[in-house]
Amino acid sequence: MTTVGVPAGWPATEEEARAVQDELRGRVVLDQPGPTPGQGHVTGVDVAYDDGLDLVAAAAVVLDAATLEVVAEATAVGRVSFPYVPGLLAFREIPTVRAALDRLPCPPGLVVCDGYGLAHPRRFGLASHLGVLTGLPVFGVAKNPFTFTYDEPAPARGASAPLLAGAEEVGRALRTRDGVKPVFVSVGHRVSLDNALAHTLALTPRYRLPETTRRADALCRRALQEAATTRQAPTS
């Protein structure tokens, strides 16, 4: 397990973080389709926090896109690198997420975040931020619509409806199970929205959430529990 410190020069204030978002947002690539669903690797990333212990754990789980079997996995644990501020959550997560990705023994391929990309107040959520910094194709699948609006998709699996910021489409509400609450898909970097939707459906053969998210969530929670237990253990 890798222990991650706060990177040198990492933003410490909201003003600094927003300036970084403004600088990097112009590097987002939105005109590439991304990998073909069902081929190669697809990697889920997720994080878990213990703010009381100043710990964040990240997990990266690589799946075979055709079979959804686990190919590789890695974790990293570090200090929380930024306070909780809505719209700036990427600054809390990226150092440990990148460390977990760097620990993988194989290329991650497409990366799926538990969060947002273009569907972000500043159009630069975690999926976009991570994609720009790593150069990887990345998109986000979120559990709720954040501050955006949408009409309910039709009840059948695969139905979708625009996720809107005013009149601007920033993602899609996608039904992954018949009659079950949709998930919210937004592009991050080097993936089209249609392709992100197809990948999301391929990753949800049984459950509402993608297998990438489910497996990364379970792994980062275990890593956090182990790190917290070690931190709290009495010393002799």
Q: Residues at the annotated binding site for Mg(2+)?
A: 46, 114
Q: Which residues is 205 bridged to in the sheet?
A: none
Contact predicate 74/108, CB 8 Å: no
Cβ atoms of 174 and 119 closer than 8 Å: no
Residue in 180, 179, 109 with CA at minimum distance from that of residue 143: 180
Strand-pair partners of 74? 60
Q: How many CB atoms lie within 10 A of CB 39?
A: 13
Binding-site positions read 46, 114
219, two tokens: 């792994």
Give which of 38, 63, 61, 34 is closest to 189, Cα–Cα: 34
CA 153 to chain centre: 23
Residue 11 CA, distance from chain mean position:
20
Contact 93, 82 (CB under 8 A): no
